[in-house]
Amino acid sequence: MDVRSLGQQKVSGYGVGVALPRVVGGERWWRVGQALAVCGLLGVLLLGCGKHGASAEAALPKAVDLGTVQLTPGQPSRQELGGGRVCVLTARPMGNELELIAVLEKGGERVSSTRVGPVAIGRPLNLSFGELQVGVSPVWVK
């Protein structure tokens, strides 16, 4: 009697014959599974790598630290924040401290503004323009 006629295949190794059950149609399902896996991977790569998923605005930093900024009383100081954004700082003396007026511009247009005072000269200060935080340590120009 032939082993293959019983739906089994004969595997021999090390001088011993072993009969294993044969999977009918298994190769076809394996190929279908491979094709589905490849299609799924391509779909993830094409959809995940598109530029339409995130805007350029989302890539801009939400916090910018300008560090120490030298200011002249009453004179605006333009500080580049990146992405076409500019923070215009104007300081006015208030005794030993100062009043700081900050204007956020984008594309040459005023987007937001804030006024803070009294501010200690040389001390770090965080300015908030909605989602954007700007860190600055204002000092007088000598």
Tell me the per-residue pLDDT of 61-89, one tens digit each, with 9 for 90 and over.
788 999 999 999 999 999 999 889 999 99
Q: pLDDT higher for 60 or 135?
A: 135
Report CA-CA distances (Å) from 18 to 13, 14, 49, 60: 8, 10, 50, 66
> Contact 76/99 with Cβ under 8 angstroms?
no
pLDDT-based confidence at 95, cuts 50/70/90?
confident
> Contact 66/87 with Cβ under 8 angstroms?
yes
Instruction: Return the DSSP state at 3.
Output: S
pLDDT value, residue 104: 94
Give the list of residues 6+ apart from residue 28 with CB closer than 8 angstroms, or none: none
pLDDT value, residue 3: 47
Q: pLDDT higher for 104 or 32?
A: 104
Around Cβ 132, how many Cβ atoms within 10 Å? 18
pLDDT value, residue 53: 47
The answer on pLDDT for 91 being more than 70 is yes
Give residue limits of the domains in the chain. 4-53, 56-140
**What's the average model confidence in pLDDT over 113-131?**
90
pLDDT-based confidence at 100, cuts 50/70/90?
very high
Rounded Cα gap, residues 51 and 101, in angstroms: 37
Rounded Cα gap, residues 95 and 133, in angstroms: 27
